[in-house]
Amino acid sequence: MPNKKGFALFLIALISVNDAYKILVIFPLCSKSHNNLGKGVVNNLLDAGHEVVYCTCFADKEKRPNLTEVDLSHVETQLGFDKDMEEQFKIKNLVGKNNFADSLFFMYVTYEIHRLFLNDDVLINFLSDTNQKFDAVVAEWFFSELFSGIAPLFQSHMIWFATTEAHWQILRIVDDIPSPAYSTDLFSVNIPPLDFLQRAKELWSVIKRYVILNCVVMPIEQHLYNKVYTPIGETRGIRLPSYYDAAYNGSLLLLNSHPSIGTPFRLPQNAHYVAGFHIDTKTKPLPENLQKLMNEAKHGVIYFSMGSNLKSMGMSDFMRDSLLKMFSELKQTVIWKFESDLDNVPKNIHLTKWAPQQSVLAHPNLKMFITHGGQLSTTEAIHFGVPVVGIPVYGDQHVNMKSAVEKGVGITVTLDDNMAGELSAAIQEILNNPSYSKTAKELSSIFHDRPMSPAKELVYWVEHVIRTGGARHLRSPAVNVPLYQKFYLDLLLIMALILYLTLKVLRRLFRQRTPVKVKES
């Protein structure tokens, strides 16, 4: 009997080992919010029993079993964001500015980030190591397909991870460009249904960026792709596909979004929503001082945070002081994530350099969340059923808050030195109108009503790609159809040619049959 039990345990262990995969996860941005998502992917794969190698700028001091980290934190110092650039991205200097993410400068920045990563000796040595083998590569897609060369190096499957709402630029690499008649650009604030001018604007936005991508950006990226990956491929004895073949050869697209938060895009079979996967299933307890503060707040708590990249200490003195004065007039306790110390702070305002945001949002005494409108913040707000007041600054923050307003869970305030009055009005509207809180809880219920949790769904689809040899059965046929064929331009050309020749023949026949009149003398 003991031998049978031992044999059974051996079989179970053998099965678990065979079901475990080795997965490479790479998130290129030296941004805490993006790293939170990267760590979420890593932790869920580790919890499922897989071995993970994580390329990151934020290597953890505490190591988990089956996790190896490739520390790329030194790349951040090479990005060239000097003091002048850092000064430009302070909140006080972003007031009144257009969304820089919708610009050629943003395209240059994204290229530069990928270039520095791919030219880094640590990453090159890792990719060149012939002992490294992976079943799949999960790479963050950040407005570039340059990481598409990593999967072929390891002869593994490529899984793209989009940190934002679905939009045409990411959907194009796994399916087709959705019609701008009903789908908007990530940096647009238009919400379908669109009127005539909005449709025209969205069409122009797609055409403009598509031309720039294909005529300028991708040829430059192709050169970098060949320069970096070709020698590594030779070291590994691998002949790489072309950049364009690799870019459109992804097996799966995971989207950090959900229809309850954003737009219900029409997705191909190999694209799936997993928003909320990074949120802890069991909310961690608050630090003792914050727990006491929130428990004892008689009129509730308002939480204010501008995220990890935008810092409140970067506000102008006037903006900061006017907000402090406005908050001091509220009955509610205000927890403000502020990165430096201040003197003479009003009694109802608690400044903290860091706060466990999920734990704060989960507290029943929280009345609302004042946020910059980042994807993680809006997702966490919906997860916990908390209404929001948004102060969007750049990137997808504008479209996130536009969606929150349309769905009835938030109010947008324009970033301005004199925004204290507008922010105060928004706070009072949410405090006095219970529909915001009610709608937030209803959306939260929809957000949670899924066949499986987003964490389990993420793991399931990664495993499915590996088990099925790349999930080719899920790939959209649209990826292999050239643009001119999608729009039937070849057919239109042939029809135009046939029409032209037909008219030409008919004209000749008409001339031949028309009698010539002879003039009488």
Q: How far is CA 136 from the centre of its chain?
A: 20
Q: Please say if the pLDDT value at position 436 is more than 60.
A: yes
Residue pLDDT, tens place only, 476-513 = 999 989 888 988 999 999 999 999 999 999 998 888 77
Determine the angle formed by the axes of helices 32-47 and 454-467, rounding to 10 degrees.
70
296 and 380 share one domain: yes
> Which of 54-63, 225-234, 365-374 shows the lowest per-residue confidence on average (mean pLDDT)?
54-63
Say if residue 16's pLDDT is above 50: no
Region 331-337: mean pLDDT is 98
Q: Is the backbone peptide bond immediately before 193 cis, with ω within 30 degrees of 0?
A: yes
Domain count, the chain: 3
521: in domain: no
Is 323 a residue whose pLDDT tops 80? Answer: yes
Distance between CA atoms of 487 and 177, rounded to whole angstroms? 12
C-alpha Rg value of the chain to the nearest Å: 28
**466, 434: one domain:** no
Q: In the structure, what pLDDT confidence band is assigned to residue 391 with cuts at 50, 70 and 90?
A: very high
Give the residue from 68, 67, 66, 81 showing the smallest Cα distance to 30.
81
Which residues lie across from 335 on neighbouring strands? 303, 350
Number of Cβ within 10 Å of residue 225's Cβ equals: 24
**Residues 112-117: contacts with CB within 8 Å, 24+ apart?**
112/79, 112/80, 113/28, 113/29, 113/79, 113/142, 114/28, 114/142, 114/144, 114/146, 114/147, 114/221, 114/224, 115/146, 115/224, 116/75, 116/78, 116/79, 117/28, 117/72, 117/75
Question: Is 126 a member of any domain?
Answer: yes
Confidence of residue 28 (pLDDT cuts 50, 70, 90): confident
Does the pLDDT at position 518 exceed 80?
no
The residue behind tokens 């709608």 is 439
Q: Are residues 397 and 491 in the same domain?
A: no
Question: Is 266 within the bounds of a domain?
Answer: yes
Statement to judge: residues 246 and 357 lie in one domain: no
Confidence of residue 517 (pLDDT cuts 50, 70, 90): low
Q: Would the pLDDT of 82 be above 60? A: no
Indicate whether 359 and 382 sit together in one domain: yes
Average pLDDT, stretch 224-235? 96
Residue 74, pLDDT > 60, answer yes
- Exposed e or buried b per residue across 99-127, where buried means at least 16 C-beta atoms within 10 angstroms of its C-beta: bbbbeeebbebbbebbbbbbebeebbebb
332 SS3 class: coil
Helices assigned H by DSSP within 213-365:
218-236, 243-247, 288-295, 317-328, 357-362
Q: Do 182 and 265 form a contact (C-beta atoms < 8 A)?
A: no
Residue 502 belongs to a domain: yes
| Listed residue (301, 260, 303, 258) closest to 408, CA to CA | 260
- For range 225-254, the mean pLDDT: 96
- For tokens 């998502």, what's the residue? 37
Task: Provide mean pLDDT across the span 413-418.
Answer: 97
Domain span at residue 506 reads: 486-513
Average pLDDT rounded to a whole number, residues 168-190: 92
300 domain residue, yes or no: yes
Examine residue 213 and state whether it is found in any structural domain, yes or no: yes
Round to whole Å and give the CA distance between 205 and 180.
9
Per-residue pLDDT tens over the stretch 273-321: 999 999 998 999 999 999 999 999 999 999 999 998 899 999 999 999 9
CATH of the domain at 363: 3.40.50.2000
Give residue 254's pLDDT: 98
